[in-house]
């Protein structure tokens, strides 16, 4: 996720204006380590998700409605799959399903290929993952820009505070990259 210092995560519904080449390079490097991407349907729609440039990387779109554009390159390429409930409508794409009324995210993650799952937001999916305590690490970019309209932050507030430890802070031009890792008590 990328955020401005004052917590803005998009400009007119898109996050691209907050980023730049250093941030895009960071995203590519994270995707290079990932075996799959998990993204909320709102983000897939507004950010107009396409297929991943990394060969074989699956992009799982979390949705209850299943109202997505299945004629878009994300799905026609075979790269996009749907992560939804067992009750959700049939979809013209590969789907993984868990949970009846709400998506059981832990069970969805178990159905993804073994390895690193790169979550790319948005705030509603992030909140559900924090609430279920499924987040092992947060990779946050602080953008050197201020502006836009304050809307959602990187996560709608989870019900419980979760503790993370600072694992690294690096910079590239004016961007700051912070990594936090989850502290789990034994």
Ligand X SMILES: NC(=O)c1ccc[n+]([C@@H]2O[C@H](COP(=O)([O-])OP(=O)(O)OC[C@H]3O[C@@H](n4cnc5c(N)ncnc54)[C@H](OP(=O)(O)O)[C@@H]3O)[C@@H](O)[C@H]2O)c1
**Are the beta carbons of 148 and 4 closer than 8 angstroms?**
yes
Q: Which residues bind ligand X (CB under 6 A)?
A: 1-2, 9-10, 13-15, 40-43, 46-47, 62-65, 67, 102-103, 105, 120-125, 128, 152
Using CA atoms, how far residue 2 sits from 23, 44, 120, 161, in Å, is 8, 16, 10, 21
In whole angstroms, how close is the CB of 77 to ligand X at the nearest point? 20
The tokens of 91 are what? Answer: 């979809």
In whole angstroms, how close is the CB of 38 to ligand X at the nearest point? 10
- CB nearer ligand X, residue 1 or residue 57: 1
In whole angstroms, how close is the CB of 185 to ligand X at the nearest point? 25
Q: How far apart are CA 184 and CA 179, in angstroms?
A: 16
Task: Output DSSP code: residue 32.
Answer: H
In whole angstroms, how close is the CB of 166 to ligand X at the nearest point? 19
Where do the DSSP E strands lie in 1-155?
2-3, 34-40, 58-62, 80-84, 95-97, 116-119, 137-142
- CB nearer ligand X, residue 41 or residue 112: 41
- CB nearer ligand X, residue 132 or residue 167: 132
- CB nearer ligand X, residue 13 or residue 147: 13
């Amino acid at each position: 996720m990328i955020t401005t210092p004052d917590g803005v995560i998009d400009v007119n519904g898109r996050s691209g204006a907050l980023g730049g080449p250093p941030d895009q390079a960071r995203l590519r490097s994270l995707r290079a380590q990932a075996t799959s991407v998990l993204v909320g349907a709102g983000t897939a729609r507004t950010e107009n998700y396409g297929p991943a440039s990394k060969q074989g990387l699956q992009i799982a779109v979390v949705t209850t409605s299943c109202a997505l554009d299945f004629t878009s390159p994300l799905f026609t390429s075979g790269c996009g799959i749907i992560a939804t409930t067992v009750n959700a409508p049939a979809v013209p794409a590969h789907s993984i399903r868990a949970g009846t009324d709400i998506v059981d995210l832990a069970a969805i993650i178990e159905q993804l290929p073994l390895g690193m799952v790169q979550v790319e937001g948005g705030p509603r999916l992030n909140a559900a993952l924090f609430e279920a305590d499924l987040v092992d690490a947060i990779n946050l970019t602080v953008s050197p820009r201020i502006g836009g309209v304050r809307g959602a932050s990187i996560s709608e507030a989870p019900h419980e505070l979760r503790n993370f430890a600072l694992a690294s802070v690096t910079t590239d031009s004016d961007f700051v990259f912070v990594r936090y890792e989850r502290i789990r008590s034994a």
